[in-house]
Chain A
Amino acid sequence: MKIVALITATLGALFLGCERDSLEVRTFTLERLALDQAFGLIDPYVYRDREVGPGTMSMSDGLITVRELPENLDRIADVLEEYDRARSGVRLHFQLIQANGFDNRDPSIQAVEVELRKLLRYEGYRLVGEAVLQLREGGGGRQMLQGTLEGVSQGDSQFNLSASAGMVSTGDQASTVELFVELEHFGTEILGTDVTAADGQSLVLGTTSALTGGGALILVVTPTIEGT
């Protein structure tokens, strides 16, 4: 029994010694997470209660230094890669369309108009104006859209666009972004919604509006997600 115990103790000591010897130190740079957020993510992979060679972690100014087994450091790297990637850029292209009794086809909205004609029986559609808003993931912005509404003076054809981009998700087929979009006309909201959209997908947001004399205002929003 003594021999077995001695062998076990020796192997155990060797194992613990090996584990302690194999600890490595790695420093991670945070891209977007706050230190407390990163701490919450990483902490489960740092074994402070290990009897020999406990894991340690220190943090300062967007840097986290971890002393752990290589496989745990790899896991931490994977977690940070997934949750701490740099913020994406989101460019929103807006087209404001008036639906009513227009005869001429408007080539600038051709693709959307083709689909609208299949769904709705407004006699025609024309582009009121366009705007582009460049956002960062998690940020927002405003943009004035000066358009030309049929039957409305130029001064009264001004609109305000507000938008914010939430989290960008990278899927198997396409990246998506959560958006808040609002269209206002002199302080009156015409359209306002939260919506998720895929990269390059055109969302055609429509509603009837007194501004159009019985027609509708349609806001086409097409996000382009950059840097995913």
Chain B
Amino acid sequence: MTDCTTQRDWILEADPEALKLNASGEHGDHLAKCPECRALVDEILGAQAALRETLDSVAPALDVEAALVRAREARRATQRRTRWQVALPLAAATLGGVLLMNRPSPVPVSGFDPATVRAAAALGLAGAGPLVRAESHQRVAVLPTENPNITVIWFME
């Protein structure tokens, strides 16, 4: 099957290295013909590169690989429940649980917008995990830990 839904499942499941290398075969054929799926792949790879760059510059001691692996594993647990409509937020999450949802922060808290809630639900965060908003100049990495009661949220300028 080469329909977009199947392809997007693969895109969201695939390791970034596999995404980079898979320019041929079944996926490559589809990606060459489908600008939406190609854009999704580019989005994932681009965001991953940005995350690596940011984390490396902010905290050189950060174990990026470990964080990415951990976040990827956590995401896979809920991957099958996702819909492709939340592909972009999920793609961000693939990159170490990054949720790029920059909004001004109102006080007191009002309701979260539906897209944010959908994305968080797809990530398995809604209900048990955090939805995060940051200032517009910040990026946010949500890093799940092995302790289900502890979630690390890192803010980067």
Residues of chain A having any CB pair with chain B under 8 Å: 111-112, 114-116, 118-123, 138-140, 164-167, 169, 171-174, 176, 178-180, 191-198, 200-208, 216
Contact = CB atoms under 8 A, between A and B. Distances in A.
Nearest to B58: A208
Given A164-B108, A166-B108, A196-B112, A176 B59 contact: no
A178 B112 contact: yes
B68 to A, nearest CB: 11
Contact of A119 (B105, B106, B145): B145
Interface of B: 58-59, 61-63, 66-67, 70, 103, 105-112, 120, 126-135, 140, 143, 145-147, 149-157
A169 B110 CA distance: 13
B127 A171 contact: yes
Nearest to B103: A194
Contacts of B135: 192
B contacts with A: majority SS: loop
Contacts of B70: 118-119
Contacts, number: 130
11 contacts: A112-B150, A114-B147, A119-B67, A121-B62, A165-B109, A166-B108, A193-B134, A196-B112, A201-B130, A201-B151, A216-B59
A contacts with B: majority SS: strand
A207 B109 contact: no
Contact of B154 (A165, A196, A206): A206
4 A-B pairs closest in CB distance: A121-B61, A166-B109, A115-B145, A164-B108
B134 A118 contact: no
Given A194-B133, A203-B151, 17 more contacts: A118-B145, A119-B63, A119-B152, A121-B59, A172-B127, A174-B128, A191-B155, A192-B105, A192-B135, A193-B132, A193-B153, A193-B155, A195-B130, A196-B120, A202-B151, A207-B155, A216-B59
Contacts of B140: 193
A129 B66 CA distance: 29
Given A164-B107, A191-B155, A203 B130 contact: yes
B108 A140 contact: yes
A91 to B, nearest CB: 16
Contacts of A114: 147
A202 B147 CA distance: 10
Given A115-B146, A118-B146, A176-B127, A193 B133 contact: yes
Contacts of B103: 194
Contacts of A173: 127-128
A90 B122 CA distance: 27
B111 to A, nearest CB: 8
B61 A115 contact: no
A119 B107 CA distance: 31
A195 B62 contact: no
Contacts of A122: 59, 61
Nearest to A191: B155
B150 A204 contact: yes
A203 B155 CA distance: 13
A192 B120 CA distance: 20
